[in-house]
Structure 1
């Protein structure tokens, strides 16, 4: 597979992790069976794709991107989908996470 395979696997893992986390909120503490089941499926698929991604990139980079981008996206999703507050200070700290991810990736550049 090409060097882009890792990035494709990682992108899919991030989207599935985001979906699983949204479904966690929708499941309402496991009181809704279908969203609860779908949440587990999304998380399992996300970890599977993350596992494939680390074949092509360092685990430190893959995991930092997976978790950091996931945190950022779920913060935005919480704001738009569930009306959660997103304070300016939170946005600033999310930016620090993104800068850290970029720095980690650059430090790994070959």
Structure 2
């Protein structure tokens, strides 16, 4: 089970790198960010497929999306200086709470 979470963490990291690079592609008109984005998504989907061998797809996807949303939002705020208002922060908190509830209390994690 630990390896499933390691693979999922690696998938999340690749997805975050790919999405961050996607902003810099300017519609896939810049080569390097475009290559980073495409490669990052390819690796992200590969590593995402590994925990799906023994974990429910809905749970894996919820964790992947929730963590990705939080990390991308943090990068947008820190790196791209994108503003976050109170509703955005509350929404992020609810997403984090949802991911924590799944991980701490869900019995569907083991297949």
Same fold? TM cut 0.5: yes
Give RMSD over aligned pairs: 1.4
- Aligned pairs for 1:23-62 (under 5 A) are 23-62=21-60
Give structure 1 regions of 4+ aligned residues with deviation exceeding 3 angstroms: none
- Aligned pairs for 1:64-75 (under 5 A) are 64-75=62-73
In the TM superposition, what is the alpha-carbon distance from 1:27 to its structure 2 partner?
1.0
In the TM superposition, what is the alpha-carbon distance from 1:103 to its structure 2 partner?
2.1
User: Normalising to structure 2: TM-score of the pair?
Assistant: 0.90
Alpha-carbon distance in 1 for matches of 2:101, 2:2: 20
In the TM superposition, what is the alpha-carbon distance from 1:101 to its structure 2 partner?
1.8
Number of matched pairs: 108
List runs of 5+ in structure 1 lacking aligned partners: none
In the TM superposition, what is the alpha-carbon distance from 1:59 to its structure 2 partner?
1.6
Aligned to 1:15: 13
User: Normalising to structure 1: TM-score of the pair?
Assistant: 0.91
Alpha-carbon distance in 2 for matches of 1:107, 1:62: 12
List runs of 5+ in structure 2 lacking aligned partners: none
Kindly indicate whether the alpha-carbon contact (under 8 Å) linking 1:13 and 1:46 is maintained by their aligned counterparts in 2: yes
In the TM superposition, what is the alpha-carbon distance from 1:56 to its structure 2 partner?
3.4
